[in-house]
Structure formats: structure tokens, C-alpha cells
Structure 1
Amino acid sequence: MSSQKTREKPHPEVRSPQRRRGRERVAALLRAGEEIFAEKGFDAATMTEIAARAGASIGSLYQFFPTKELLADTLQDVNGDALSRMLDALEEAAKGAKPATLVDRLFRDLSAFLEAHPAFAVLSDRPAADKAKKAERRQRMRGQIAALLVAMDPPLSRERAERMAVIVLHLMRISVAISGEAELAIREDVLSDLRRMLIRQIEEES
């Protein structure tokens, strides 16, 4: 038996560029990934198409993102941060707001977010390579939603707000999935029903 230990292959990692030119190239690759994933879905999208859309060589794409999975994970990190900033911006508007007003604003801003980040709905249910990071992002968003519910009028207690935040976040995920069904003729009616359901639930809790 050989005494030489079997070496495990290192996990591929995203390369973070230090120079401005490299950062601009990565930004272009992420924009191209956003477009291709939104148009074709994760499975059908190819790295060749993404590189071509970005006007980059395939070697340049693999230099920064060794796998399609890492590209998608990075894009979801960027989009998740944008969603978190959206929730932060809602906190001031939530102060003293009625549940219906808060939910309307939440749905309005979520709709604008999905329009600006079309790949988010496509990639949201894809298993992430970094599960710990995904769980951390989810916990952060729950805390942000709970803060909104505590700030409204009438406010929820912290305990109830934390419980409702879990429900609201899952309803937001359902909203994202429904919004991604462009062929669904009754999509807007379904989203309206979802909005009313959420308002009733929050009002019952307050």
C-alpha cells in the first residue's frame, strides 16, 4: 500500500480583482450572467454565451469564475445585498405606517427590485454552493423584516414580529416565483390575493 496520501483537489474560488480594469470586467461578466440566466434559466445558460454577451473571452470568464455555479452564487450575493438595502430603505417609511400601507410599499419595491434584477427569481431556489452564506443572508433579511413590523402602527411585539418575519419572507419568495411566471395570465390577480392575505395576517397579529 502506498504511503503517499491522496491529495484532494482544492475547491474553486471566485477571484477578486484588485485593479479597476479587472473590477469593470467582473461587473460586465455579472451583468451578462444576469441577462443570460434570466433569459434561459440556470441549466440552459452556458458560460460561452455569458462570455460572448459580456464581450469577453471564455478564458477571461473562467479566470474570475471557474464554474457556472460560482458565477450564479456571486450574482445571488450581489442581488441579495441589493434586496437587503431595499429593506433597509423601507425602515423609515415603516415608522407609524398601517399594515396595508407597509405591505403595499413592500410589494411595490419588491416589484421594482425584480425588474432591476431579473435573474433573482430564476436563481432563488437553486441550491447554493455556500449554504452557510445563504443561511446568514436569510437570517439578516428576517431581522430586517421584523424591524419593519415593530416600527408600524400598531406595532407587533418583537416575539411576534420575528415569527411573522419568517412567514413574510416565505411569502416574498412565493411572490418572486409567481412574478417569474411570465406566461401566467392571472399573475397580477394572484399577486393581489397574496398581498391581501399578508395584510390580513399582519392585522390579526397586531
Structure 2
Amino acid sequence: MTETGASTTPTREQDALGDLIVCPSCDLVYTVPDVGPRERAVCLRCRRVLIAPRRKAGKQLIALALTVLILIVAASIFPFLAIDAGGLHHKASILDTALAFHGMLSVLSVAVLFFIVVIPMLRLCLLIYVLVPLIRDRPPAPLSREAFALSEALVPWSMAEIFAIGCAVALVKLSDLADVVYGPAAWMFAVLVVLVVATDRLMCRYSIWKSLES
């Protein structure tokens, strides 16, 4: 895959705002270069990838999003772990854990469900809603730009993979006090983390925005 540095010298034909792109990391402004499939335009200052179009990326993103949705639903229902301590055996799923809080701690239940279940699922549903018409060569669906903007705004609040990593660290420490057995949901979250990273790396946000503008 070749890399192309974005040009910083604007011409009269490229002076319009639509021909400019801003690096989201260092805020350096470039004129949009011509980038072919399997090529990348990178920021010359911080090396952030700005444009990386790929053939059939939309179909792959939809497939990954649907897979992650299924994993989130299944991981919320199936047992996450089982603990044996002092002759007692207990299994717990994510929903069981979230619904176990009462009173003032019920706010924590809502936060757990929203950050690791509802928000990730909402973000993926919005992404599928935006991409389906585009891969079928049809006009964007109503409010697609707003839907994609909301999907991007939810990225910092989608914490399913952070929850999985945090649980892994906590369970390693807990294993010294009790026998911990990872349930099906734990392995689903492990796969989910990999798929979420793959989805973010595959997505070319600039290409999606340009498709929505047209």
C-alpha cells in the first residue's frame, strides 16, 4: 500500500472549503489530494491517516457491525464468569450484574447498560443505516449526515471494549482469592474487542462524508 502526503499548497481551483481537509490530531489544513484505492493520504506532521479508500469497504463494515451487534446481545445474556469460593458457586451475566444494584446505586446500573450495551449498539445501528444505501448505489437515507455525525460523537462513550479489558485485569487479581471460570460472554467480549478495532481501522470517514454530500 502506498502512502501519499497531502498537499499544503492550495490553488485557485481548490480554494473552496469542499477541497480542504483538516487533520483531526494536529489541526493542520490540507488541500484534498487524489487518492486511489489501496492508497493513503497521511498528515505530514503527525502521520495520522486522513484518507484511506478501500474497495468494498462498505460491505465489510456492515458485516463487521452486524457481527459486533450479535456479539453484544449474546454477551449480555450468556454468563460472563463463574466463581467458586468456599464451596459456593455463582454465575453472573452482564445483565444480572447491572440489575443487581438497587437504591442510589441504580444509577450505576443505568450507566453500565448504556456505556457497554446501549451506546455501542446505537452507534453500530446508525453506521449500518448510513452505509446500506451507499453500497447499493442509492441516494443517502434521510438524515444520514446527522446519523453519521451522531455515530462519530458516540465513539468516546462506547466502552464495551474498555469494559472487557477492565474485567480481564480485575479477574486476574480475583483469581488469587477464588476459582474463576470465564463464561461464553467473556470470550465473546474478547472477540468483540478485536472486531471493534478492525472496524475503526477499516473505516475511511472522509470517503463516507463525501458520499453523503453527493
TM-score bracket for this pair, using the shorter chain length: under 0.3
Q: Which has the larger radius of gyration?
A: 2
TM-score under structure 1 length normalisation = 0.27
Higher fraction of strand: 2
Provide the TM-score with structure 2 as the length reference.
0.27
**Greater helix fraction, Structure 1 or Structure 2:** 1
